Amino acid sequence: MLKKYEQYLKAELNLSLPTVKFYIDEANLFTEYLACKKITYVSAEITDIENYIIERKSRTITLSDGDNCKTENNVNISLKSTTINKVASGIRSFFKFLLLEDARKDNPSRFLKMSRRGQKLPDFLSVEDIDTLLDSIDVSTHSGLRDRALFELIYSCGLRISEACSLKCSNIFSNDSVIKVIGKGNKHRIVPEGDAAEYWLKRYIKEARPLMIKNKKTDFVFLNIRGEPISRKGVWKRFKEIAIACGIESRVHTLRHSFATHLITGGADLRSVQEMLGHTDISTTQIYTHLARNDLKECHKKFHPEGKKTGGKS
């Protein structure tokens, strides 16, 4: 599982090697700690996570040493106050991965309290970069037509990668130009397709998918070359290849961030964007208003006659 987790950090999240190493080291420490408590990551609860962090903060931690357990007293593995959030983030990332792998049905780390800090704004692409990226896809092949439909849909509907991979033909309602998305916690939501996504999705389903399915019976929309449902890893890989070919540094989840940012910048209300993204808490959606504000400030500075002036009139 830890090997799969490392692949997830590198392929989907596209983290730097030092960050990947930190997260893997933290996952190793945490699972060794759980082993000494005769607990697995499948059964761990929020109290187990909190006790782990308490031991780290106190510069003592009980770890597995083969068949035995020992208490380490080493400042090098201590949890400094400045790294509390980073370690907590690592634990959250690990449990999020376990959910994606269906190793767990819940995420106890969501109850983990973190100290307040400035929130990092998500990356997003400009409309021009989105167009460049999507238009660069070679749709003369079956897989290319699939890629165009896949990434058009992710951007047009603000889908998570897992939501796109799990989309079924029975959840596409062409007459109403909407799709039913099954998100986190098996929650369903209805999202408009958008004209471009609808066009490419219809073309893919009519022209490419019947040839890719290879006489297999499946209701999943997006398939790989073996006629099986495309995997998250497959989606990450294809998007990375397309982005590199365009000279754009990005990852596939940026399409979802771009979807939300472009909607709010264009004047969409926060509640509607929250519903389309499938956010339970509107505060999660509100981060995109900060991106929109920055965009508006730049627009004002560039185009308004008073935007470039540094001082008032005497």
How far, in Å, CA of 244 to CA of 248, rounded?
Answer: 6
In which element (H, E) is residue 207 found? none
Identify the sign of the CA torsion 193, 195, 197, 200: positive
**DSSP tag of 156:** H
CB 276 within 8 A of CB 189: yes
**Catalytic machinery residues:** 160, 184, 253, 256, 279, 288
Token pair belonging to 310: 């540094």
How far, in Å, CA of 257 to CA of 159, rounded?
Answer: 10
> Could you tell me which residues are beta bridge partners of residue 68?
65
* Packed helices 46-57 and 84-100: angle between N→C axes, nearest 10 degrees: 150
